[in-house]
Amino acid sequence: MDGVALRVPEIVIAHPRDRRRASRVGVMIMATLRATRGYFDCMVLDLSSGGAKLAMGDHVVLSPGLNVTLIMQPYGTFRAQTVWQRLSIAGIRFLEPPETVAAALADLLPAPEPAEH
């Protein structure tokens, strides 16, 4: 892994039924996922301060609720929990506070919008 990230045009999902609290950004970042059964290479497909969507190898099965660690060099290491998996695509939720994740990923994520009063 050389830690090179490719940022693709921003993708913001605004569907009313969308449960996500943070805007997602489409990316292509090689990363490593550490789970109970070992380390697995993956590609981060989209990212927010709340979680990420990963492309995994076909042989990787992640149960919902499994605690994992996402290693994205040079951005850092993030504790997470699996939320869903469909074939080789999985969604994870970061366990760190969103502000901590946003600070670590500031080069990739859009700046937060100011709160309305």
Whether 109 is in a domain gets the answer no
Per-residue pLDDT at 117: 60
Question: Looking at the 3D structure of the chain, how many domains does it have?
Answer: 1
Q: Which helix (H) or strand (E) holds 102?
A: helix 98-104
pTM of the model: 0.77
Whether 24 is in a domain gets the answer yes
Asked if 11 and 24 count as a contact pair (C-beta separation under 8 A), the reply is: yes
CATH of the domain at 92: 2.40.10.220
115 within domain boundaries:
no
d(CA 51, CA 23): 10
Residue 113 belongs to some domain of the structure: no
Q: What is the pLDDT at residue 17?
A: 41
Question: Contact 27/108 with Cβ under 8 angstroms?
Answer: yes
Domain membership flag for residue 27: yes
Would 111 be classed as within a structural domain? no
Look at residue 69 and tell me if it is in a domain. Answer: yes
10-residue mean pLDDT series, the chain (117 residues)? 47 43 87 94 96 92 95 96 96 96 92 65
Q: Give the range of the structural domain holding residue 59, as residue numbers without chain letter.
A: 5-104
